[in-house]
Chain A
Amino acid sequence: MTLVQRGRWVTVIALLLLGGVYVRALVFTPEERLQGLAQKIYYVHVPSSWSAMLAMGLLGLASILFLFLKDPRYDRFAAASAEVGTAFSLVMLTTGPLWAKPIWGTWWTWDARLTLTLMMFFMFVGYLVLRGAVTDPALRARYSAVLGICGLVLLPFIHLSVYLFRTLHPMPIVLKPSAPSAPPAMVITLLSSFAVFTLLYVGFVMQRYALGEASNDA
């Protein structure tokens, strides 16, 4: 079985599991008292943010490894991770305003967390545009690796922005040193969704990496 076929299987399994997460979130997870049903956007918004940040983190690490080892596989992986990260960022940036409107009364506000996540999206898009613009493969790999490392530097600021700046965005509920501040039923749904979005990331990257490999290009 080729890599693209394995990637397709992983993606199909992840999508079926995503259906299960949808059912669990919408039917079997309790409704939050103050926000109503809009709070359930949490189960797609937070895991898609996680997958986008995972994509950016691995893109940055692959870029560092490429610059040190000059192995084109890292460059190919970085390109795959950037494209997949763009898709997850798009989910994050569309579900976020749909949650913000009923709770904050506005679709968007230029606070630190939101602005930094928008910058991450533009980093992904800029990375892909740069790759499309430079024709020489060696130069393209080197330039895009530098941009990938810039994206990696952005990640700690995104995670810590809710602590460092005054922001409307809620504090982490699970990814924090103390115990999760949500009922177990909600935490289980969220963790299941994290696992499924991570699997979906893996399936997408396998397919996208195989595409780059087949064309001997990223």
Chain B
Amino acid sequence: MTPEQIPETGGYMVAAYIVAAVILLAYTVMLWRRGSAKTKS
């Protein structure tokens, strides 16, 4: 099979990697902020 016949599905891959990174980074920031707020109080 030639490379031309490989399906064009790169957009879905990019979207999945971005979504995963956003969720994990958002949760990291959320935990960080909650930890900082607890330390101050």
Contacts and interface: CB of A to CB of B under 8 A. Distances in A.
Interface of A: 4, 7-8, 11, 15, 18, 22, 26, 31, 33-41, 44-45, 48, 84, 87, 90-91, 94-95, 98-99, 101-103, 200, 204, 207-208, 210-211, 214-215
Q: How large is the interface on B (under 10, 10 to 19, 20 to 34, 35 or more residues)?
A: 20 to 34
A91 B23 CA distance: 7
Given A36-B7, A36-B10, A41-B12, 20 more contacts: A4-B38, A11-B28, A18-B21, A18-B24, A26-B13, A31-B6, A33-B6, A34-B7, A38-B13, A39-B9, A41-B13, A87-B27, A90-B23, A95-B20, A98-B12, A98-B16, A99-B16, A102-B9, A210-B35, A215-B38
A76 to B, nearest CB: 14
A207 B31 contact: yes
B23 to A, nearest CB: 5
Given A36-B9, A44-B16, A207-B31, A94 B23 contact: yes
Contacts of B13: 26, 37-38, 40-41
